[in-house]
């Protein structure tokens, strides 16, 4: 005679079967969750690699070098002529015909515009493309402003002439576009740096209006240059030196404890003091490179090497 299950045995058996089903369900659920997480991590990794690849392609050193030689240098040649002419006009040396000097500058700006206009930057490099466009705008405005100013140049002398040049709206706008172009180029160098340093330290500090001297020390040279290029735009400082020249002077002033004696507690304040006192000169970076920047990850651009 078969033994019938008691009520408690039946309940126990049902509970056992229920728990077994739950365990199996939990197992497969865990497998699915784990699979989804693994796939998500893989997708994130792939996306990060793709983004890095895009940045690398867009701001490869080849593009930076091309921009330097075909766009930056022609514009730089004009700027060098501009600053020399401004110095000659202010001091009265080397020119007795201001109108002719202004005319020559306008012609040079026009020639450089034609040379740069024949160049191009890829759509995949928006910062370089925009910098190119700003160079063209700057040179065009310099040329137009020179033509409109030429007629009254000889009627003004010395400091009066320089004051009028400084107040001219077209020249001011031309300088602003030149500064914006410079900023775009140095921002592109940061993008190049990011292409092989995914977690570039200090990027968030570039947005600081009053970067402290302590935070300045956390930046590599590419970030310092980008910060200063941005600062020069903000302060409308169209100068003959490069951002790296200013960076070198700031580093030298901080390391020699001169910044404390100048009561400067932020980079913008220190930069203003150095520029205002004429303490920054073209070539300062190369003079101090061996002392401060031997281990910096710099692209192979001539203004970093010679």
Q: Is residue 13 part of a domain?
A: no
* Residues 71 and 118 reside in one and the same domain: yes
Mark whether 146 and 176 lie in a shared domain.
yes
Does residue 188 share a domain with residue 223? no
Q: Do 97 and 168 reside in the same domain of the chain?
A: yes
pLDDT of residue 100: 92
Domain range for 272 is: 206-296
Per-residue pLDDT of the chain (306 residues; tens, 9 = 90+): 455 667 776 767 777 777 878 777 776 777 676 666 756 565 554 454 445 445 457 899 999 999 999 999 999 999 999 999 999 888 877 667 899 999 999 999 999 999 999 999 999 999 999 999 999 999 999 999 999 898 888 888 778 888 899 899 999 999 999 999 999 999 999 999 999 888 899 999 999 999 999 999 999 999 999 999 999 999 999 999 999 999 999 999 999 999 999 999 999 999 999 999 999 999 999 999 999 999 999 999 999 998
Boundary of a domain, candidates 142, 170, 198: 198
Asked if residues 104 and 145 have their Cβ atoms less than 8 Å apart, the reply is no
146: number of CA atoms within 13 Å, CB side? 25
So what's the pLDDT on residue 56?
52
Q: Is residue 77 part of a domain?
A: yes
- Answer whether 75's CB lies under 8 Å from 119's CB: no
pLDDT given at position 1: 46
Say if residues 229 and 243 touch (Cβ distance below 8 Å): yes
Q: Is 198 exposed, middle or buried (0-12, 13-18, 19+ CB in 10 A)?
A: exposed
Question: Does 22 reside within a domain?
Answer: no
- Which pLDDT value is given to residue 43? 54
The per-residue pLDDT for 45 is 45
Specify if 1 maps to a domain.
no
Instruction: Report how far apart, in Å, the C-alpha atoms of 298 and of each of 220, 225, 304 are.
Output: 10, 11, 7
- pLDDT, residue 3, reads 57
pTM for this predicted structure: 0.81
Task: Give the model's pLDDT for residue 158.
Answer: 74
How far, in Å, CA of 195 to CA of 58, rounded? 9
Q: Which two tokens stand for residue 77?
A: 């040649």
Tell me, yes or no, whether 191 lies in a domain.
yes
The verdict on 261 and 167 lying in the same domain is no
286 & 157 share domain: no
| Number of independent structural domains in the chain | 2
Residues 151 and 284 in one domain: no
Among residues 198, 217, 242, the one where a domain terminates is: 198
In a domain, 303, yes or no: no
Is 168 found in the same domain as 225?
A: no
- Which residue, 198, 222, 240, sits at the end of a domain? 198
Q: Are 137 and 266 within one domain? A: no
Residue 153 within any structural domain of the chain = yes
Verify that 223 and 191 share a domain, yes or no: no
Q: Is residue 9 part of a domain?
A: no
Q: Do residue 218 and residue 292 come from a single domain?
A: yes
CB-CB neighbours of 169 under 10 Å: 9
Does residue 190 share a domain with residue 217?
no
């Amino acid at each position: 005679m078969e033994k019938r299950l008691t009520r408690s045995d039946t309940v126990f058996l049902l509970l056992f079967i229920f728990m077994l089903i739950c365990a199996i369900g939990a197992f497969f659920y865990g497998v699915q969750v784990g699979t989804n997480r693994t796939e998500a991590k893989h997708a994130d990794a792939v996306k990060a690699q793709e983004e890095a690849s895009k940045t690398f392609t867009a701001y490869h050193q080849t593009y930076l070098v091309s921009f330097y030689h075909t766009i930056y240098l022609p514009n730089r040649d004009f700027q060098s002529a501009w600053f020399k002419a401004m110095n000659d006009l202010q001091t009265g040396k080397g020119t007795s015909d201001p109108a002719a000097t202004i005319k020559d500058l306008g012609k040079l700006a026009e020639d450089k515009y034609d040379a740069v206009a024949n160049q191009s930057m890829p759509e995949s490099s928006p910062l370089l493309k925009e910098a190119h466009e700003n160079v063209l705008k700057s040179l065009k405005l310099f040329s137009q402003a020179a033509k409109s100013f030429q007629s009254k140049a000889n009627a003004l002398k010395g400091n009066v002439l320089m004051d009028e040049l400084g107040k001219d709206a077209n020249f001011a706008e031309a300088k602003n576009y030149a500064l914006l172009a410079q900023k775009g180029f140095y921002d592109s160098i940061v993008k190049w740096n990011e292409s092989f340093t995914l977690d570039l330290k200090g990027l968030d500090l570039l947005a600081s209006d009053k970067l402290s001297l302590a935070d300045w020390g956390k930046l590599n040279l590419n970030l310092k240059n980008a910060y200063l290029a941005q600062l020069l735009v903000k302060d409308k400082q169209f100068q003959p030196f490069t951002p790296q020249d200013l960076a070198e002077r700031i580093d030298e002033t901080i390391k020699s404890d001169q910044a404390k004696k100048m009561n400067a507690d932020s980079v913008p304040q220190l930069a203003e003091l150095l520029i205002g006192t004429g303490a920054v000169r073209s070539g300062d970076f190369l003079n101090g490179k061996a002392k401060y920047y031997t281990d910096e990850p710099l692209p192979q651009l001539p203004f970093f090497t010679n």
